Amino acid sequence: MDRYNALLTASYGRHYLAQRLVQDEHGIESHVGQLIQVSTPAKQHIGAVGDRMILESTSADQARIIEIETRRNLLYRSDAFKSKLIAANVDQILVVLATQPAFSPDLLGRAVVAAEANQIDLHILLNKCDLKDALPIARKIIEPYKRMGYPVSEVSAKFDPASIELLRPALQGKVSVFVGQSGMGKSSLLNAWVPNAAALTQEYSVRLDTGKHTTTACRYFDLPEWGRDKNGKLGGLIDSPGFQEFGLAHLSVSQLQHAFREFKSLLGQCRFHNCAHQSEPGCVIRDAVENNEIAPERLALFRQLRSDSKTADIQIQGISQAKERWSTSPTKPSKR
List residues near Zn ion by CB under 5 A: 270, 275, 277, 283, 285
CB of 215 to Mg ion, least distance (A): 5
In this complex, which beta carbon is closest to Zn ion, that of residue 231 or of residue 279?
279
Which residues are near ligand GTP by CB under 6 A?
96, 127-128, 130-131, 156-159, 180, 182-188, 215, 241-242
Closest approach, Cβ 60 to ligand GTP, in A, equals 32
State the binding partner of 128 from Mg ion, Zn ion, ligand GTP, none, CB within 5 to 8 A by kind.
Answer: ligand GTP
Shortest reach from residue 84's CB to Zn ion, in Å: 32
Which of Mg ion, Zn ion, ligand GTP, none has residue 72 at its interface (CB below 5 to 8 Å by kind)?
A: none
Contacts of residue 246, defined as CB under 8 A and 6 or more positions apart, other chains included, come to 77, 106, 107, 110, 111, 114, 179
Q: Is the dihedral of CA 298, 277, 120, 213 positive or negative?
A: negative
Rounded to a whole number of angstroms, the minimum distance from the CB of residue 241 to ligand GTP is 5
How many Cα atoms occupy the beta-carbon half-sphere of 170 within 13 Å? 19
Instruction: Compare residues 273 and 335 and give the one whose CB is closer to Zn ion.
Output: 273
Q: How far is the CB of 162 from Mg ion (least distance, A)?
A: 23
Amino acid at 232: G
What residues does 15 pair with on adjacent strands? 12
**Is the CB of 223 or the CB of 266 nearer to Zn ion?**
266
Q: What percent of the chain is helix, strand and coil (3-state, nearest 5)?
A: 35, 25, 40
Element housing 64 (H / E): strand 62-68
- Interaction partner, residue 277 (Zn ion, ligand GTP, Mg ion, none; CB < 5-8 Å by kind): Zn ion
- Cβ-based nearer residue to Mg ion, 8 or 197: 197
Question: 35 with 17: CB under 8 angstroms?
Answer: yes
**β-strands 92-98, 121-127 pairing:** parallel
